[in-house]
Structure formats: structure tokens, C-alpha cells
């Protein structure tokens, strides 16, 4: 069943063909930045700007004094404080196909998260992993700080 009829279907097709390893579908957008913020995509780091579209497998990183606010396509709100790194490992938002899930990895730093529709429709499918723990989020609002040794 075709859930989304994209206007840019040709563009999508082109991206899918030229980058078979990456999904070209936008999963979110950068809404706010302060200080140093970058997005690592396919091993390359680019400075993040407000309005930048995010793809699955992107890693968002902030430097000291940096912060970033993101809105995902299911209307989840995500923000990172300074010296943070968040990898958007899995983002599935196709309710009609029953494909729903969000798994992100906070390798360091501070995260605030308010769940969107994925959390509402499939609460069991939302998880944040850190080097230390795994956090299952049942449709809600939370803060995670993952400190490295000595910090």
C-alpha cells in the first residue's frame, strides 16, 4: 500500500537510486541553534543551520556552549545542550503501514525529548540508548544527561 504520494517522487527515486544505502526521506528539521552545532552525514560533518532537513542515520553534535532544537516529522521535540552527540538511528513514521519506531543514541551530553505521534501510537517503540543505559519512553517528556568520566 502506498502511504505517501510524494510530489517530488522523481527526486526521491533519483536519491534512492544514487544512494541506495541512505534513505532520502526527511525525518526532521533543525529549528534552533546556538554556538557550534554540526550534523554528521555519511561520515562528513557540516555546520547545522536553522531549516536544515535531517535524514535517518544523521548524528547531531554540539560543541562547548552549543545547543540545538529539532522537530521530527512525527512532531517529537528534541533538544541537545552543550558537548552532546545524538545519532538518529531509526525513525519510522508510517502509521497506515504499522511502521512506527524511534531509536536514538545519545553518546554524550544532555537531551530533552517530548514525544510526538510515534510515542502516542506505538509507545513501546521509542527508545534512547546511551553508553551506560537504555531508556524506554512510554509517550512522555524527559531529560537524559550522559556524563563521561570526570565530567
Q: Which chain residues interact with another protein by CB under 8 A?
A: 1-7, 26, 29-32, 34, 50-51, 53, 67-71, 73, 75, 77, 79-82, 84, 95-96, 110-112, 114-115, 119, 123, 130-151
Q: Which is nearer to another protein, 21 or 149 (CB)?
A: 149
Whole-number minimum distance, CB 99 to another protein, in Å? 14
The answer to whether the CB of 63 falls within 8 A of the CB of 39 is no
Count of residues making up the chain: 151
CA 46 vs CA 30, 60, 91, 102: distances in Å:
13, 10, 21, 23
Whole-number minimum distance, CB 85 to another protein, in Å? 13
Q: Which is nearer to another protein, 21 or 133 (CB)?
A: 133
For residue 38, what is its C-alpha cell? 554540526
The answer to whether the CB of 78 falls within 8 A of the CB of 38 is no
Q: Which is nearer to another protein, 42 or 124 (CB)?
A: 124
Element (H, E) at 14: helix 9-18
Q: Which is nearer to another protein, 47 or 131 (CB)?
A: 131
Longest dimension (CA), the chain: 52
| φ, ψ at 150 (rounded to 5°) | 85, -10
Whole-number minimum distance, CB 142 to another protein, in Å? 5
Whole-number minimum distance, CB 58 to another protein, in Å? 15
Amino acid at each position: 500500500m502506498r502511504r505517501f504520494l510524494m510530489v517530488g517522487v522523481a527526486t526521491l527515486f533519483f536519491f534512492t537510486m544514487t544512494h541506495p544505502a541512505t534513505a532520502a526521506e526527511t525525518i526532521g528539521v533543525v529549528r534552533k541553534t546556538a554556538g557550534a552545532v554540526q550534523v554528521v552525514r555519511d561520515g562528513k560533518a557540516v555546520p547545522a543551520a536553522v531549516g536544515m532537513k535531517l535524514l535517518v542515520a544523521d548524528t547531531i553534535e554540539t560543541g562547548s556552549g552549543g545547543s540545538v532544537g529539532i522537530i521530527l516529522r512525527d512532531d517529537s521535540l528534541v533538544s541537545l545542550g552543550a558537548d552532546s552527540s545524538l545519532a538518529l538511528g531509526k525513525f519510522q513514521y508510517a502509521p497506515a503501514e504499522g511502521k512506527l519506531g524511534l531509536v536514538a543514541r545519545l553518546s554524550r551530553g544532555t537531551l530533552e525529548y517530548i514525544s510526538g505521534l510515534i510515542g502516542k501510537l506505538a509507545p513501546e517503540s521509542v527508545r534512547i540508548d546511551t553508553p551506560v543505559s537504555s531508556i524506554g519512553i512510554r509517550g512522555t517528556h524527559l531529560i537524559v544527561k550522559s556524563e563521561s568520566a570526570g565530567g
